[in-house]
Structure 1
Amino acid sequence: MSNTPPPTSMTTSDLAEILFCSGLQESDRPSAEQVRAAIDHRIGACGGDRSVCLALVAQEAGDHPETYSARMRWALSTVSEAYPRVGTAA
């Protein structure tokens, strides 16, 4: 298992927000490598601009408030496993 560092000095929360707006689903039971690839892909799709990803998170939260909390908990937990050495605060 690879311990690839995060794409930048992002926190667990930052990475979870990016994973949240990716196409990856909890039901996919993604591996750590798939999680890191999905985050890398989403960052690229957002032009490397975290604020673009945050806007997508906000839109999803507004469009699907009934699933927001569960998906964000999953994203936080999944990122913690995929990037075990990342901090939770900036």
Structure 2
Amino acid sequence: MTSNVGCWKRRLAVLAIAMISLTGCATVSSEDGRLATCPPVVEYGREFQARAAEELVRLPEGSAIEEMLGDYAVMREQARLCSSP
């Protein structure tokens, strides 16, 4: 008698790959033609921005916080572009 275990394993693998692929697509939905996964962009007032700029100037040259704020600015711009119509 021949074993068909290899055939079932192959079918199971194909099914698993198909399900993973489909669930990846299901995580993104649209609202008004935009991706629903766009994070909100917090708006800061002028006074708060001025205070943050003053605090940034007081940091040592090349500080880790300065580098992190640069990354944060890039992410904010990406979020802004993501949520724009």
Normalising TM by the smaller chain, what interval? 0.3 to 0.5
Higher fraction of strand: 2
RCO higher in 1 or 2 (8 Å CA, sep ≥ 6)? 1
